[in-house]
Structure 1
Amino acid sequence: MSKQKHPHSIKTILTFAIAFVSISFTLLISAILYSQFSSTIRENATVSTREIVRQVNANLNYYTNDILTIAGYARDLSKQTNELSRIEIERRLSSIVDSRQDIVCLLLFDLEGNVLLSTTDAPLRSQEEMVKQTWFTRALGGEGNFYFTGPHVQQLFTSSYPWVITYSQQISYTDDTGELSQGLLLIDMNFRTVSELSQSAKLGATGYVYFIDNNGKIVYHPYQQLINSDLFSEDLDSAQEYIFGTFTNTFEGRQRLVIIDTVNNARWRIVGVAFMDELMAGLDQYTAVMLIVLGFCIIITILLARTVSAYISRPIRELDRLMNSVERGDFSAPPTVGGNQEVAALSQTFAVMVKRIRQLMDDIVTSQEMKRKFELDALQAKINPHFLYNTLDSVVWMAEQNDTEGVITMITSLAKLFRISISKGRDIITIGEELEHVRNYLIIQQIRYQDKFEFSITMEEGMENLPTIKLIIQPIVENAIYHGIKYLQEMGHIDIKVFKRKPGAVVIEVRDNGVGMDEQKLSNILSFDGVHPKGAGIGVRNVHQRIQLYYGSDYGLELSSELDVGTLVRLVLPEQKPIQPIKGVQS
């Protein structure tokens, strides 16, 4: 059997709905902002890296142009041998080399490898070794074209072997005869300038710039020594595919942004390498801040959702509480609830309905009260004729016996009885007045039965003014006489006691030593459907009904009886505040 799901409260539904929509919108906006910011950071990082590489390229072009200018000056001097001596030309070229820390030497060779001009006095290698070197072979046969040979160990002198970059070009010069001849101009530069240009480029914390030639070989790399020692590797294959441009790749576990640009004069390529985790470090900070702000916004959203839902649902819950109160029978206050227009209208409609129900219930209560009064009056009307019949029967009997004094006494006692019975129209009298009524009744019955029984009446002190329904003891005493003591051969006894029984109950006890009753008769005597011979139990049953109609089902008569022993009847009433006796009723 499937369990029925418990419905959620409107506050929970509203809270969830508002929070879901708000948080979804916040997450959507956050995702859009994150995407835009991430794209912006990536784009800015790319632009910034590209600008750095371009700046390095511009600086390197400026430097190579400066070398080209020096080479042009040397070409011009080499054509002025008729005007200037070799010593003067070398002196001028040496002054330029001495003024530049980046230039190692400047030399002019003929095509056979012989030195024509030199800025140094260091001993040179043989001409056979010169013509075999790369810088010589590359420039040979290409007059007008210049070449930059990548870093290599200088092989010009027999006494020093520095790492240099060589500029070489086949040029025309004026020989000793004044004729133009072909030669090779060489300018060796150290690594300092290129290294400074590369190291000045800051591409994040660990990014770097390196140079490669047309063949994809490294011209300069800041980690050249580590590469030579196989402690560091470079992704030359990817760089070889691009002359210029931008791309990203992953090499040795790190994503890299690679910027490639071409150095015009040297025909080298500048490769800038920046690592994405460093470039996007700002994004990580932004993400952390965004998560904090997002978490704060979600908390605020939930709190606002609960506040709004509570504001909306509070009148409904208040109306529900009032409905439950009305369901439990509480119609004390009109259920008016404020709040939004719909709930207020519903509350007013419910208030009108409750007011109508309360009016109908008041009408029912009034009707029931009147019904109960009519029933009490009807029950009392049944008792009075019954009692009057029995009393007059006794008077007739005494008149037949010519007992004038007894008749007068009985008529006088009967008058006193009826004064209390009338009680100025009141149904409630004091216990003292009720006992006085019974006393007069017993006096009448003693005269009738010629002292066939005796009676006693006792009451605890201070109970005489406690209220009771009138005419409730006399029917019990009457029943004891007519259905108990009347059939005794010996003297009968009727004892009446009034006392309090906790909690808050008054007990009027009537005990007789009559013939008693069996269990069957005792169990039926208070039954509305019981049929008793000769009207036995009518008065007892009426008294029980009157007490319960007036005070409720917790009160009434308690009976016990035993054949040939007697009967005990207890009238149980609630203890109430004392009242004043009725004036004009005399004993």
Structure 2
Amino acid sequence: MWLKKLNKKLSNSKVGVIIALFYFALIVASTAVSSLFYEKIYLNITQKKVSEVSVQTLNSIQTNINLMINNADSLSKMVLSNSDLQKLLRQGSMYEDLNTQAKVSSYLYKFIQSVPYVSSVYILDNSSNIYSVGADVLPSIPAQKIIDAKWYNRVMEKKGGFILELNGGGVTFENSKDNYVSLIRLVRDMDNVDKLGVLVINIPQKSFKQVFDNISNDVETNIAVLDEENQKITSLKNVNEHKENVHGGIDVDDEMMRAGDEFVGNDIGYKMKKIDKTEYLITYSSKNDYNWKFVSVIPFAQLYKENMTMIFIGFVIILFNGIILFVCSVGISRIVTTPIKYLLNSMKDIEKGVFNEVQIKAHGYELKKLCRGYNIMIAEIKKLIARVIQEQKMIRKAELYTFQAQIKPHFLYNTLDSINSLALSGCNREVSELVEALGNYYRTSVSKGKEIITIGEEIEMVKNYLKIQKIRYPDLFEVEYSVGVSCLEYKIPKLILQPLAENALYHGIRENGKSGTIKISAHMGDGVAILSVEDDGAGMSKEQIDDIMNINNKSIKESFGLRGTLERIKIFYGDDDACRIESKLGEGTKILLYINIEDKED
């Protein structure tokens, strides 16, 4: 119903504002709903993207650590293949040959100094002697402790392959409180692969942390490297020193170690986990040959905040665009409704009979075409009305000429009837005068075939006509003329005064039963020539006058006297007020004609 009301008042300037507000409200509502869906979709996409990036990060860390372990493996092979070291170990004791021992010691020091990620080297010979070289002061270790270590038999079984043990696998090779990884392998004779001893190369935690520093600086991300027993080798954050976690008070180490068990059997994986009302993204990777596990824990709240920030920014942008759209909609609606308003006003003028073209600056192809089409329609209507008027004038003129053609024989019949009566009466002189007057009358009446003559010529015809009638009725009437010279040259349809004079004679004076006077006058008025025929005969009642002046009276077509003449004048001048009758019963009649000399001079 509301939209129907708007449709009825489309040209109202307020409608554009209402429509703009309506669409603005729709934009805000749709934006709010879209934001909810966008949030869900964005979170899912973000979770997937962040998980993929996190897996890639773990893979990068894993690749770098694998490279470091492989380099340590290669370096360990270089150490155990050293000829001096092989010579000492074949003798059964590292202390058997001091000169050779000095060479081995020098070689190992250079090795530690040239390889920054190695902190110390231990060698156990077959005589249970331990020889060690380190960047710092090394602790004293009983040989039996190495032999009794859990990993000792595993090293023997590897037959030259290496194993990795966190913090020496229970054997203290370093004085530092930081974690370290021990690469342990069997030293075999290069000639006969006999067992010569055990080599231990220790890699400190700082070497692993350097890998993290090259990968990520995000303080909100926790990344840990776990050994095959799910013990933490190192992490991006030093959570060992601060057991409380800034993210909700949980122990991130515990979650990482738990994740190592949860993802058993999978090389890579990720999942969302809610801990103490906080969502965390946990990512896992274990693509290596030594069963180490790489775990990252990211608090998703931070991503959610970033997401909300983006949503808020998007909402503000949409709101701003909505305001701009609102303003533009109002302007555009006015561009549309203003021409329509002018068109409606012009249409209202058409109802009043006023046909005016609209002169407005329309924007847009459709509006320009509409206004142009409307103006063309108005112009065509004007042309059509003018054509109809012209056709009506032509029709009325045709009727006028028909009346004129009928008047000529009418007068002739009456005149000939009079001549016949005089001839029968033996009035030869009167017949001669009547014929002469008739000749003069028709000479003026013919007017070389012209239907429009001057007022002077029309007065002359009336004089000849009344002269004829005076011969017929010498004692019936008298004639008085009052003609202004200034109006004699103006043109009128011929035979408009003669029928009026005839009517005054027959229906005025003769019907009254006594003699009377006919007055013919012509003089100038205000832009018109006023012609009048007056008698003092029988006169007419108001009903008779109304009957004569009624242009729809069917008797007009049958009357070639007063009614026909009045109708001719109305047709010719297109003015119903061109004729007026003043009359009273017993007092006479006066007929006035108002001829517009400006329009009909030609």
Superposed pair shares fold, TM > 0.5: yes
Read off the aligned partner of 2:71 and give its amino acid letter: Y
1:215-238 deviation per Cα after TM superposition (whole angstroms, max 9, x unaligned): 334322212348744125476355
Q: Distance in 1 between matches of 2:392 and 2:282?
A: 92
Q: Distance in 2 between matches of 1:254 and 1:330?
A: 82
1:108-162 deviation per Cα after TM superposition (whole angstroms, max 9, x unaligned): 46999x862222694746759x94x9x973313323344423469998489x434
Count of residues paired in the alignment: 476
Deviation (angstroms), 1:434: 0.8
Counterpart for residue 188 of structure 1: 202
1:392 equivalent to 2:419? Answer yes
Corresponding residue to 1:544 among 566, 576, 581: 566
Counterpart for residue 465 of structure 2: 441
1:456-504 deviation per Cα after TM superposition (whole angstroms, max 9, x unaligned): 2323x643232221111111111112222332757535242343555xx
1:366-409 deviation per Cα after TM superposition (whole angstroms, max 9, x unaligned): 99699647723542245323542575378569x66x583x5554
1:231 equivalent to 2:242? Answer no
1:396-443 deviation per Cα after TM superposition (whole angstroms, max 9, x unaligned): 69x66x583x55544433221111222222222112211221133334
Counterpart for residue 63 of structure 1: 71
Read off the aligned partner of 2:406 and give its amino acid letter: L
Read off the aligned partner of 1:194 and give its amino acid letter: F
1:245-264 deviation per Cα after TM superposition (whole angstroms, max 9, x unaligned): 45554467889695724332
- Runs of 5+ in structure 2 lacking a partner? 9-44, 322-363
Read off the aligned partner of 2:202 and give its amino acid letter: D
Aligned partner of residue 138 in structure 1, secondary structure: coil
Deviation (angstroms), 1:42: 10
Q: Distance in 2 between matches of 1:540 and 1:193?
A: 135
Aligned partner of residue 543 in structure 1, secondary structure: helix
**Contact 2:500-2:533 within 8 A present in 1 as well:** yes
Corresponding residue to 2:154 among 142, 151, 157: 142
Corresponding residue to 1:222 among 218, 233, 236: 236
Q: Distance in 1 between matches of 2:411 and 2:466?
A: 16
Aligned partner of residue 68 in structure 2, secondary structure: helix
Q: 1:222 to 1:96 in 2, by over 3 A?
A: same
Q: 1:367 to 1:570 in 2, by over 3 A?
A: closer
Q: 1:97 to 1:147 in 2, by over 3 A?
A: same
**Contact 1:431-1:467 within 8 A present in 2 as well:** yes
Counterpart for residue 178 of structure 2: 163
1:557 equivalent to 2:579? Answer yes
Q: Distance in 1 between matches of 2:538 and 2:385?
A: 54
Read off the aligned partner of 1:453 and give its amino acid letter: E
1:482 equivalent to 2:506? Answer yes
Within 5 A, what are the aligned runs for 1:120-135? 122=137, 124=139, 131=145
Q: 1:269 to 1:91 in 2, by over 3 A?
A: same
Q: 1:258 to 1:367 in 2, by over 3 A?
A: same
Q: 1:248 to 1:172 in 2, by over 3 A?
A: closer
Q: Distance in 1 between matches of 2:438 and 2:578?
A: 27
Deviation (angstroms), 1:524: 1.8
Q: Distance in 2 between matches of 1:484 and 1:73?
A: 163
Aligned partner of residue 559 in structure 1, secondary structure: strand
- Runs of 5+ in structure 1 lacking a partner? 7-37, 175-179, 296-309, 333-357, 581-587
Q: Distance in 2 between matches of 1:506 and 1:138?
A: 146
Counterpart for residue 533 of structure 2: 510
**Contact 1:140-1:170 within 8 A present in 2 as well:** no
**Contact 1:483-1:536 within 8 A present in 2 as well:** no
Cα RMSD (Å) of the superposition? Answer: 5.8
Q: Distance in 2 between matches of 1:189 and 1:564?
A: 151
Read off the aligned partner of 1:96 and give its amino acid letter: F
Deviation (angstroms), 1:63: 3.2
Q: Distance in 2 between matches of 1:317 and 1:201?
A: 70
Read off the aligned partner of 1:468 and give its amino acid letter: I
Deviation (angstroms), 1:54: 6.2
Counterpart for residue 32 of structure 2: none
Within 5 A, what are the aligned runs for 1:56-455? 56-66=64-74, 68-69=76-77, 72=80, 76=86, 78-81=89-92, 84-85=97-98, 87-88=101-102, 89-90=104-105, 92-108=107-123, 116-119=130-133, 122=137, 124=139, 131=145, 137-144=149-156, 145=158, 146-150=162-166, 156=172, 160-167=175-182, 169=184, 171=186, 185-201=199-215, 210-225=224-239, 228-231=243-246, 233=252, 236=256, 237=258, 240-241=262-263, 245-247=267-269, 249-250=271-272, 258=283, 260-264=285-289, 266-271=290-295, 372=399, 375-376=402-403, 378-381=405-408, 383-385=410-412, 387-389=414-416, 392=419, 395=422, 404=429, 408-446=432-470, 448-450=473-475, 452-455=477-480
TM-score (norm 1): 0.61
**Contact 1:151-1:220 within 8 A present in 2 as well:** no
**Contact 1:169-1:184 within 8 A present in 2 as well:** yes
Q: 1:517 to 1:551 in 2, by over 3 A?
A: same
Counterpart for residue 339 of structure 2: none
**Contact 1:516-1:565 within 8 A present in 2 as well:** yes
Read off the aligned partner of 2:154 and give its amino acid letter: G
**Contact 2:268-2:286 within 8 A present in 1 as well:** no
Q: 1:183 to 1:161 in 2, by over 3 A?
A: same
Bigger fraction of residues in helix: 2
Q: Distance in 2 between matches of 1:203 and 1:514?
A: 130
Q: Distance in 2 between matches of 1:316 and 1:498?
A: 55
Q: 1:465 to 1:136 in 2, by over 3 A?
A: farther
Counterpart for residue 346 of structure 2: none
Q: Distance in 2 between matches of 1:413 and 1:324?
A: 57
